[in-house]
Amino acid sequence: MLKAIRSSSLCLQQVNRLSTPYRGVFRSVVPNKNPKLLQRLFFCSDSSDGSGSGGSESVSAVVEESENESKSAIVPTAIKKPDDYLTDPKLLAALVESRKRQAPYAGAFLVKDDPEAKGSDAEKNIYDLKGKELLNRLHEVGTLAQITSITGDQVVLIGHRRLRITEMVSEDPLTVQVDHLKDAPYNKDDDVIKATSFEVITTLKDVLKTSSLWRDHVQTYNQLIYRPGRPFLHIGDFNYPRLADFSAAISGSNKLQCQQVLEELDVYKRLRLSLELLKKEMEIHRIQETIAKAIEEKISTEQRRYLLNEQYKAIKKVASLTNNLFVIALFCCNSKELGLETDDKTALTDKFRDRIDPNKEKIPAHVLQVIEEELKKLQLLEASSSEFNVTRNYLDWLTALPWGNYSDENFDVLRAQQILDEDHYGLSDVKERILEFIAVGKLRGTSQGKIICLSGPPGVGKTSIGRSIARALNRKFYRFSVGGLSDVAEIKGHRRTYIGAMPGKMVQCLKSVGTANPLVLIDEIDKLGRGHAGDPASAMLELLDPEQNANFLDHYLDVPIDLSKVLFVCTANVIETIPGPLLDRMEIIPIAGYITDEKMHIARDYLEKSTRDACGVKLEQVEVTDAALLSLIENYCREAGVRNLQKQIEKIYRKIALHLVRQGAQNEPSDLVSESTEDSGESKESNDEPSSDTTEEAEIVETTVSATLTQNPDDQASDSKDNEATNVTIDKVFVDEKNLADYVGKPVFHAERMYDQTPLGVVMGLAWTAMGGSTLYIETTRVEQGEGKGALHLTGQLGDVMKESAQIAHTVARAILADKDPENLFFANSKVHLHVPAGATPKDGPSAGCTMITSFLSLAMNKHVKKDLAMTGEVSLTGRVLPIGGVKEKTIAARRSGVKTIIFPLANKRDFDELAPNVKEGLDVHFVDDYNQIFDLAFDLHTEK
């Protein structure tokens, strides 16, 4: 029966013993005066059972140590013991008694880890356990240890052989019945065992050569064992079991691995386990050497650079004060060594290779070939040569491009619809085209490049639509403007031979976004210039042509670039100024101006909300009525877009913000009360009126700001400084049609209708402008009458096309008058003056012929045209009505002017049918293909009033 000694960790240690038995030499790490320091005990093996090499050779050690200390350490080290780490006094007393009875033996067993305990709690639980609970926590296999000495609470033991617990005898202290274990029989001449043992010995020798720590281990064992005439321990003295035990003992493995070796009775398997532990130790040593070498190199490099920097500063200071050639040369050498003068070619090469290595398989072969050639060229060039910098910059651009890197597109049509609706109101035709593009990409699995041109007046949202498309598709967005661009090199890049050469806009775009399939917005493509540096419009053909941009060649890079996955979105105000070949490559999506209803929605749901947030005004602090917005749109912002409308709304909210801050209504209501009190020059009670200054300002914006103070009645007689404002009420700021002028000034536009009922010779026409549609009056009057004095005089800054239209209209009107009233000789005997008002504005276009003919006939026949009638269309000499453009813009202009009846050419019926219902609502539209139909509508149906 043996007393069981508990240990928190187990280390196997065994060395070969000659005829002289081993003596265990133990040194306590805990001074007697400090019982709180941790005890550390070592056990050496003994094979005194007389079984020889095949006997039961036991080996064990009990080590109580902290987790921070290496378990392979042999030399005792002082480690502080936790306060709650206590020695079992009953166990210590039992060991002392056993030694006195000449039965100085005890069993040393490793305690299993408690999976539920953490940290120091595990050590507490060990000494709290008693009896059966403690037995269950012990490993079955342990070591028979001889008690050699006991000093205070320090016990010195010598391990002898392996034991296995069979049953418990008593609980406190734990006493158990054990069996002595012997190694399983084995063949000493077995080749596998020999080879394994030789590998263990070889690994031990390798480790002893490379690791000073292992040499210290062996030296310590040599000191622990008394061996006359043998100054050092020889590995060759071991037999197979002892070799395995010794290797595992000094391997530094954790306690469970050592316990596994202790429990293994098969000699070959024990050798294998020990060899694995040695190999792991060897690998750890290699990693340690690698880490040490890396840290040493880093420290050496930093120290060297620090010294060179200090030398550089000192030499530079001396060189600045003297012209000594030696000092200047030393300065140059030192700066070159620091890398301050030129870039290191090897470092540059490594940088460029690091860029291309992650995506090397995606880079085209011809591009990789060029990169490799340039890298070799860079190594051969002198860093001081101009060609070196050219090659370096070229490689910098060439390796920075996203060759084959594509962003993951989102083909969710519902998500795209939501994004487009969030950013823009209306524009259903544009949104539908974008959704079609996404749907095709979803069905194909990938989208292809496309060239879309958004044309329309300023301020309708062409650029912002491009951003929304990029967000809907999950593509990177890049924008550049070509308005006024006259240099081809901006598109195609410069030749590398030029000083300051750079790639074109597309290469810069790809480098900036980092993907090969971005959305590129080309703004103002209708305003491309043309100068001495070439024709940019022609250079854009290669960029935008789907058949060519798969191999776009930039002059700087001089290697083909695939732009077939890029989605190009161009914007233009008018498409007439875009060259025909360039226009042929684009898909035109016209964006007309907004009608009043659409502007109201945009102002209320988009512009007002964003402006209110930008100005820091809260929703409950202000209210802008619908009447105010309607007046703002009709009298201040009649243009087709909404950019000016946004400016006017921002102007309103800036004034509101100023008013709120002056009144102290934002965030600090108590300050408002104190300021009002100071302005009035007297203390105010809880229900006083605001000061006169406040009242005057409130009258300007037609709003009332009232301050209500709630005070304790007991404090009403106290000084005003002691009054506390507990409640302040600020009324909303109302902006309506009546006080709108106080925020944005007087109305800019008045009613477009010059006449409620057009007089003789005056007809309302419809015109298209870059700002959208507008009404246009054609006025004619007779200036001279006499036989044979028929003539035509034109004014109003008309263009050549409108002058020709007037001549044609005069001829057609004479023919119609001769047919309708042969006796009327008005045109033969009258000089007629035709004028188009707003003479300061240039006017031109092929759509005023019908209006001019009607004006001539009204004057000649002395008949008024129908009230609230507007028309547009060009005529031929035979009276045929020709189609026109800008149907939506002209319809919007007619609605804005209160027109009820509109006459369009028959060929434009399809364009009118495509308009939104709210645009066509309330209009009586007639489609004609001959002027005689207009004559009947304009005169025969007119009712004199």
- pLDDT tens, position by position, 877-928: 999 999 988 888 888 888 878 888 999 999 999 988 888 787 888 889 999 9
pLDDT band at 785 (very low <50, low <70, confident <90, very high): confident
pLDDT band at 344 (very low <50, low <70, confident <90, very high): low
Per-residue pLDDT at 338:
53
Tokens 């000449």 belong to residue: 102
d(CA 556, CA 541): 18
Tokens 């003479």 belong to residue: 839
Radius of gyration of the chain (CA): 50
pLDDT in tens, 564-621: 889 999 999 888 888 888 888 888 888 877 877 888 899 998 899 999 999 988 888 8
Per-residue pLDDT at 770:
63
Q: Are 278 and 286 in contact (CB under 8 A)?
A: no
Q: Give the Cα-Cα-Cα angle 109, 112, 115 (nearest 5 degrees).
A: 170
Ranking 86-95, 447-456, 680-689, 728-737 by mean pLDDT, the lowest is 680-689
Task: Give the rounded percent of residues in the chain with a pLDDT score beyond 90.
Answer: 12
The domain boundary residue, chosen from 548, 565, 590: 590
Ranking 201-205, 431-435, 499-503, 667-671 by mean pLDDT, the lowest is 667-671
847 counts as catalytic: yes
- Please name the helix (run of DSSP H) or strand (run of DSSP E) that holds residue 398, with its range, or none: helix 386-400
pLDDT band at 479 (very low <50, low <70, confident <90, very high): very high
The whole domain housing 150 covers 72-112+128-180
Exposure b/e, 25-48, CB count within 10 A at least 16 = b: ebebbbeeeeeebbbbbbbbbbbe
878 lies in the same domain as 916 = yes
Is residue 692 a part of any domain in this protein?
Answer: no
924 backbone dihedrals φ, ψ, rounded to 5°: -105, 105
Q: Is the pLDDT of residue 706 over 50?
A: no
9-10 and 2-7 beta bridge pairing: unpaired
pLDDT band at 324 (very low <50, low <70, confident <90, very high): low
Per-residue pLDDT at 441:
84
Average pLDDT (87-106) is: 78
- DSSP character string of 827-866: HHHEEEEEE-S-TTS-B--TT-HHHHHHHHHHHHHT-PPP
CA-closest candidate to residue 563, choices 578, 585, 579, 547? 547
Q: Are 11 and 61 in contact (CB under 8 A)?
A: yes
Residue numbers in the known binding site are 456-463
Task: Output the six-digit token pair for 182.
Answer: 């012997």
504 lies in the same domain as 582 = yes
Q: Which has more confidence, 799 or 116?
A: 799
pLDDT in tens, 354-399: 888 888 888 888 899 999 898 888 888 887 788 888 888 999 999 9
d(CA 533, CA 493): 12
Q: Is the pLDDT of residue 787 over 70?
A: yes
Exposure b/e, 750-782, CB count within 10 A at least 16 = b: eebbeeeebebbbbbbbbbbebbbbbbbbbbee
Task: Output the six-digit token pair for 283.
Answer: 């690998």
935 lies in the same domain as 892 = yes
Average pLDDT (107-112) is: 85
499 lies in the same domain as 607 = no
Task: Give the rounded percent of residues in the chain with a pLDDT score beyond 70.
Answer: 74
Give the active site residue among 847, 855, 858, 897. 847
Average pLDDT (453-480) is: 89
Residue numbers in the known binding site for ATP are 456-463
Count of domains for the chain: 5
Per-residue pLDDT at 305:
74
468 counts as catalytic: no
Q: Which has more confidence, 56 or 438?
A: 438
Average pLDDT of the residues of the chain: 75
Per-residue pLDDT at 653:
92
pLDDT band at 793 (very low <50, low <70, confident <90, very high): very high
Per-residue pLDDT at 3:
53
pLDDT band at 808 (very low <50, low <70, confident <90, very high): very high
Per-residue pLDDT at 150:
82
Is residue 282 a part of any domain in this protein?
Answer: no
With left for phi above 0 and alpha for psi between -120 and 50, is residue 427 left, alpha or beta?
A: left
Per-residue pLDDT at 330:
56
Q: Report CA torsion sign: 199, 204, 208, 210.
A: positive
State the greatest distance between any 2 C-alpha atoms of the chain, in Å, as a whole number. 162
Measured from the Cβ of residue 316, the count of other Cβ atoms closer than 10 Å reads 14
436 lies in the same domain as 581 = yes
Q: Where are the alpha helices (DSSP H) in 88-190?
A: 89-100, 120-128, 131-137
CATH number of 646's domain: 1.10.8.60
* Peptide bond before residue 185 is cis, with ω within 30 degrees of 0: no
Q: Is the pLDDT of residue 247 over 90?
A: no
Start-to-end CA distance of the chain, whole Å, equals: 135
CA-closest candidate to residue 484, choices 538, 525, 454, 543? 525
pLDDT in tens, 38-56: 233 333 333 333 333 333 3
Q: Are 147 and 102 in contact (CB under 8 A)?
A: no
d(CA 334, CA 324): 16
The domain boundary residue, chosen from 590, 609, 640: 590
3-state SS track over 60-80? CCEECCCCCCCCCCCCCCCCE
Q: Are 590 and 637 in contact (CB under 8 A)?
A: no
SS3 of residue 148 by DSSP: strand
Is residue 608 a part of any domain in this protein?
Answer: yes
Q: What is the pTM of this model?
A: 0.54
pLDDT in tens, 261-295: 888 888 888 888 888 888 888 888 788 888 888 88
The domain boundary residue, chosen from 635, 662, 689: 662
Is residue 232 a part of any domain in this protein?
Answer: no
Q: Are 524 and 570 in contact (CB under 8 A)?
A: no
Give helix 267-321 / helix 255-263 axis angle, nearest 10°. 150
Q: Are 556 and 495 in contact (CB under 8 A)?
A: yes
Per-residue pLDDT at 794:
92
Is residue 770 a part of any domain in this protein?
Answer: yes
pLDDT in tens, 612-657: 999 988 888 898 998 999 889 888 887 878 889 999 999 999 999 9
Q: Report CA torsion sign: 481, 483, 487, 491.
A: positive
Please provide the size of the chain in residues: 945
pLDDT band at 326 (very low <50, low <70, confident <90, very high): low
Q: Is the pLDDT of residue 253 over 60?
A: yes
CATH number of 534's domain: 3.40.50.300
Is residue 33 a part of any domain in this protein?
Answer: no
422 lies in the same domain as 545 = yes
Residue type, 863: K
607 lies in the same domain as 577 = no
570 lies in the same domain as 641 = no
**Residue 446 burial (C-beta neighbours within 10 Å; 0-12, 13-18, 19+):** exposed
Ranking 123-132, 391-400, 454-463, 583-592 by mean pLDDT, the lowest is 123-132
419 lies in the same domain as 566 = yes
CATH number of 83's domain: 2.30.130.40
- For residue 480, what are the β-bridge partners? 522
Is residue 869 a part of any domain in this protein?
Answer: yes
582 lies in the same domain as 603 = no
Give the active site residue among 255, 476, 843, 890. 890
Q: Is the pLDDT of residue 29 over 80?
A: no
376 lies in the same domain as 522 = no
Task: Output the six-digit token pair for 700.
Answer: 């300007």
Task: Output the six-digit token pair for 118.
Answer: 């953490």
Q: Which residues contact 199 (CB under 8 A, 6 or more apart)?
A: 275
CATH number of 779's domain: 3.30.230.10
529 lies in the same domain as 648 = no
Instruction: Give CA torsion, residues 540, 545, 551, 554, to 10 deg.
Output: 0
Is residue 548 a part of any domain in this protein?
Answer: yes
pLDDT in tens, 519-559: 999 999 988 887 776 788 888 888 888 888 888 899 998 89
pLDDT band at 218 (very low <50, low <70, confident <90, very high): low
pLDDT band at 940 (very low <50, low <70, confident <90, very high): low
- DSSP character string of 627-694: HHHHHHHHHT--SSSSHHHHHHHHHHHHHHHHHHHHHT-SS-HHHHHHHHHHHHTS---TTPPPPHHH
| Highest-confidence segment of 7-16, 287-296, 745-754 | 287-296
d(CA 673, CA 706): 10
